[in-house]
Amino acid sequence: QQQVRQSSQSLTVWEGETAILNCSYENSAFDYFPWYQQFPGEGPALLIAIRSVSDKKEDGRFTIFFNKREKNLSLHIKDSQPGDSATYFCAGTGANTGKLTFGHGTILRVHP
């Protein structure tokens, strides 16, 4: 059972475009949704996160849009840069357990 699903295995955009990465989840108890960024050979690093009481979270070029009713969320990366090329994991957790359930990840390639 895939509790957190990322719709694209990979995504390619040109530099300057907005990259949109989509994610959906099944567990209604999830109330915290971080996105992690992972470069080859490194561990995942927290990029941005949202709580289910909000429908939008913005941090610089990164924005999460959250739809609780539809149980989906998306990460928008504005003005994509080649340095944004990485794997992005959507994750969910609930009830302060700290136990994150990850999606399979989306490999983003930003072409200059």
Partner 1 sequence: GPKVLQIPSHQIIDMGQMVTLNCDPVSNHLYFYWYKQILGQQMEFLVNFYNGKVMEKSKLFKDQFSVERPDGSYFTLKIQPTALEDSAVYFCASSSTDTLYFGAGTRLSVL
Q: Which residues bind partner 1 (CB under 8 A)?
A: 32, 34, 36, 41-46, 49, 87, 89, 93, 96-105
Instruction: State the Cα angle at 36 between 112 and 11, rounded to 5°.
Output: 40
Nearer to partner 1, 32 or 65 (CB): 32
Nearer to partner 1, 66 or 89 (CB): 89
CB of 102 to partner 1, least distance (A): 4
CB of 78 to partner 1, least distance (A): 23
Nearer to partner 1, 56 or 99 (CB): 99
Nearer to partner 1, 29 or 46 (CB): 46
CB of 60 to partner 1, least distance (A): 16
Q: Could you tell me the CA-to-CA distances from 103 to 7, 15, 45, 79, 81 in Å, in that order? A: 9, 25, 15, 24, 23
CB of 64 to partner 1, least distance (A): 14
Please give the backbone phi and psi of residue 6, each rounded to the nearest 5 degrees, phi first: -105, 125
Sign of CA pseudo-dihedral 10, 34, 103, 22? negative
Instruction: State the Cα angle at 23 between 84 and 56, rounded to 5°.
Output: 80
The two structure tokens encoding residue 6 = 């990322």
